Amino acid sequence: MIKAITHLDYQELRQISPEAARRAILQVLKAHKGNVTAAARILSVSRATIYKAIRKNEAGDLKDGSKAPHRVHNKTSAEIEARILELRDKTRYGPVRLKEELEELDGLMISEYTIRNILRRNKAKLKPKPHKPHKKGSRPYVDWYQAKAFEIVQIDLKYVIDQKALSLEQIRHFHSKQFPLYQWSAVDVNSRFKLMAYSDQKSWTNGLTFFLWVLSWLRSHGVSVPIVFTVDRGEEFGGKSWLKLIELRKLLSGFGCSIIQNHAASPQENAHVERSHRTDDEEFYIPRLLSIPYKKDFFLEAMNYLYYYNVVRKHSSLQRRSPWEHLVTVSPDLDAKIRFVPPILLDNIAVQLGDWSGYYLLASHLRAKTVTTHRESFILNRRKTAIRSGGNHHSSDLVFQRLIRRLFCPGPHASA
């Protein structure tokens, strides 16, 4: 039957499977009793193709061979490849940042495309962290990619002395110097601009004070857009207390802001601020902590790091620009002083705010009816009216101005 075939399209067979095409050559060749010329004429190929199929059959492999060159004169050495893989496992950086690290640490000038190819070839040796799938629920959709500057701000709390990041020596030094245990972070999704504060306690009062601090800093430096804050379900941000969340939303609405709670155990919904915590460990706490002698110096170092993070450090997501360079492009009307962010101690501010601290713990201790003096009662009612009149912009402005005076203008007039 095969001998009766006068023409067979070898190229069409090869597009389907090179192995099947060579098997067809062998069958046609066998049908014509090994006549190479006749088989080549039927398949419309050269005799060299027939002989190549014969050699591959004798070798026991009809598949196409590798097209990689036998010798690569400019191939990256095994030592450099091992160094790249070591840096990748240690830092989890991409090709661009790995290129910069190799230039700074080892003086190696390697293209990011070469690094990318090395990572691809050795993908099996790398162990990426498993991605946690997104949990569906009733949480409102937050479009990170369409948000403008400061329209979405992610807020989170970090326990500084993380045993997975810091060494035992660093943790002992941290405790001996009585540095604050908790770092409060707010990161703008669009520009990656970051604000930080510290506290000795993880409390709802400090959480609310941090909200007011972030609001006061942004509003006083030209940020006028409505802000959506996304937070986890920690008790410091309201947790499971529906009463605290209602009062917090009411308070924030007076400043043109809102709050969205993420799903439980879903850090990927606050991915930007969570990722910034790793940067804090790798570029601030781990290399600098042991060299900080006193608590005052700790806050000075933290302020220097914030300036480095917001103004100097290049971010891959911002096309190798710093957050401040990106903000200058997208929001040129911002006050330039916004980049000098002081990391405050929330415990002290909460005490200085007096009755404001925790907004009377936002219904945890409702003492409005127990105020004895007429003057205290009058001040309390005036504050509650200003906060709860969501549609009254004039009242909200008075609340904000009073907050600014309390935060930035300590003195006799601050309590007015």
Between 134 and 42, the higher pLDDT residue? 42
The pair of structure tokens assigned to 339 is 């980049």
The pLDDT assigned to 401 comes to: 52
Cα distances (angstroms) measured from residue 106 to each of 83, 84, 118, 315, 344: 10, 11, 17, 21, 38
Tens of pLDDT, residues 311-364? 999 998 899 999 999 999 999 999 999 999 999 999 877 666 655 444 444 433
Distance CA 401, CA 220 (A): 10
Please tell me what DSSP assigns to residue 139: P
Summarised one tens digit per residue, pLDDT across range 130-143 is 665 545 456 778 88
The H or E element spanning position 259 is strand 257-261
**pLDDT tens for residues 188-214?**
999 999 999 999 999 988 998 999 999
Q: What is the pLDDT of residue 135?
A: 52
pLDDT for the residue numbered 387 = 45
User: Which H/E stretch holds residue 38?
Assistant: helix 36-43
Cα dist. 19→26, 56, 60, 112 in Å?
A: 11, 10, 11, 37
Mean pLDDT of the residues in the chain: 82
- pLDDT at position 408 over 70: no
pLDDT one-digit tens code per residue, 152-168: 999 999 999 988 889 99
Question: Residue 381 — very low, low, confident or very high, per pLDDT cuts 50/70/90?
Answer: low
Residue 56 reports pLDDT greater than 80: yes
Q: Which two tokens stand for residue 153?
A: 């701000």
pLDDT band at 217; cut points 50, 70, 90: very high
The pTM is what? 0.60
- Taking domain 152-411, whether its CATH number is 3.30.420.10 is answered by yes
**Would you put residue 345 in left (φ > 0), alpha (ψ -120 to 50) or beta?**
beta
Q: Which residues contact 380 (CB under 8 A, 6 or more apart)?
A: 355, 368, 371
Indicate the residue type of 363: A
The answer on pLDDT for 247 being more than 60 is yes
pLDDT above 70: residue 385: no
Q: Which residue has the tokens 């230039």?
A: 103
Taking only the tens place, the pLDDT of each residue in 278-321 is 999 999 999 999 999 999 999 999 999 999 999 999 998 899 99
Please report the pLDDT score of residue 325 as a whole number. 95
Helix (H), strand (E) counts: the chain: 18, 6
Residue 132: per-residue pLDDT: 59
Q: Is residue 393 predicted with pLDDT exceeding 60?
A: no
Q: What is the pLDDT at residue 177? A: 95
pLDDT score of 362: 40
Q: In which element (H, E) is residue 188 found?
A: strand 182-188
State how far the Cα of 21 lies from the Cα of 10, in Å rounded to an integer.
6
Q: Distance (Å, rounded) from C-alpha 413 to C-alpha 66?
A: 81
Whether residue 376 has pLDDT greater than 70: no
The span from the CA of 312 to the CA of 64, in Å, is: 52
**Angle at CA of residue 250, ends 245 and 253, nearest 5°:** 120
Q: Averaged over 223-247, what is the pLDDT?
A: 91
Whether residue 369 is predicted with pLDDT greater than 50 in this model: the reply is no
The mean pLDDT value for 52-67 works out to 86
Which residues are within 8 A (CB) of 367 and not within 5 positions of it... i.e. 6 or more apart? 360
Look at residue 3 in the predicted model and tell me its pLDDT.
56
Which secondary structure element, helix H or strand E, spans residue 196, and what is its range? strand 194-199
